[in-house]
Structure 1
């Protein structure tokens, strides 16, 4: 075994939690960018086709409250000039709240993945080995927040998407795959948060044991205390390798 490998590797719990976070992040990214949070049944030939958090698609749609005879057609960014006159209708307050929650979840997910990558690759080595419990704890907090924000987003959207003061003829519409991906993402984030929480507690307890051992060195013979410290470090390495 080379000297470069003589340090505890990341535990299986950390690896599994990071993997689940990565997969959940992919689902979240597809949901964030996907234009299919809700869509109309093809059999209904509705002028509304589908929408996502940032895009609406219409087929020769005429907004009843707009005094001019204008047809909205095709897919456009919700903040585009095309939808300027009906943007207030397209973006009610509850939908902007959903946008904010999903955006925050995406940011927290990305930050958590960065921290998890540093823990796994052990870079920078001394900092990670010294503060691994803190890295994992912060990662847990970020993943838990991402799961919580996504939960609020899917609940708010699911509870308001069939309102009659939003899209016309809501009975013609159905929740679609982008919304389903958001639901899957929040559940995966929740599972990852549980694993990371358990691992952060374990790492914190190991840190306390190491500090107690150092304190005991002050009240024992130096050679005996040094041997105790070596045995403790070797035990932690074995635990890290076996997990």
Structure 2
């Protein structure tokens, strides 16, 4: 087996399909993570709230009723910017921070899983991948499965709380948008990829066990073979000694 002639086992089809689904899901997750369209208002309602994402809010001359100064919030700004300092506690309730944490952890885990799967596919570093491929695939499976679970929790929490009246004013004017839909799609795709990688990791682990058993059997058979050779040599020597005596 020489690496120069590419005479080494390539990644299986299940790994390739699982990795492809993971990369597509990662693109959906990236757009959802950065997109400011988790929820938006209907255009015909002319609401002062326009749209929001995990990290950005957009208003059109919005006046917060519980702020004692006459200040209008206008335009799109980062949620931790100075512009939203006085209303940040209202914009960022505890359940929304939980959604941010789950999506961020899912993004980090899936990015790490994509790096591991890329190493398995391109076979670099070659020796480590061929020796520990089942560990690479198993680790990627765990990361993707956990990420899918995190995204599911984020989607459930946001969907259950986005129409609360103690958050955005006039919630009936708002509707879930494409960034939220992309998070749900990414959750489903990551789940499918995790299923494929689970079966592939189990297959690689079983092959590893079979290889270890084969090596153990060869090691156990070597002393018996050596003893058989020794007995044969002793019998030959005895025959030769008897011939000389006769």
> 1:131, 1:62 → 2: CA distance?
59
Q: Secondary structure at the match of 2:115?
A: helix
Q: Secondary structure at the match of 2:75?
A: strand
Give the aligned partner of residue 133 of structure 2.
132
> 1:80, 1:221 → 2: CA distance?
72
> 1:219, 1:143 → 2: CA distance?
41
Q: Secondary structure at the match of 2:221?
A: coil
Supply the RMSD in Å over aligned alpha carbons. Answer: 1.4
Mind listing any 5+ residue stretches in structure 1 that lack a counterpart? 225-243
TM-score by length of structure 2 reads: 0.89
Give the aligned partner of residue 172 of structure 2.
171
Work out whether 1:191 is the aligned partner of 2:159.
Answer: no
Give the aligned partner of residue 218 of structure 1.
219
Work out whether 1:106 is the aligned partner of 2:115.
Answer: no
Q: Kindly indicate whether structure 1 or structure 2 has the higher relative contact order, using CA contacts under 8 Å at least 6 residues apart.
A: 1
Deviations 1:31-86 (A, max 9, x none): 00000000000010000000000000000000000011100000000000100000
Mind listing any 5+ residue stretches in structure 2 that lack a counterpart? 226-246
Give the aligned partner of residue 25 of structure 1.
26
Give the aligned partner of residue 71 of structure 1.
72
Who wins on radius of gyration, i.e. which is larger? 2
Give the aligned partner of residue 86 of structure 1.
87
> 1:218, 1:59 → 2: CA distance?
77
> 1:221, 1:145 → 2: CA distance?
46
Deviation at 1:120? 0.5
Deviation at 1:220? 2.6
Deviation at 1:4? 2.8
Runs (4+) of structure 1 moved beyond 6 Å? none
Give the aligned partner of residue 43 of structure 1.
44
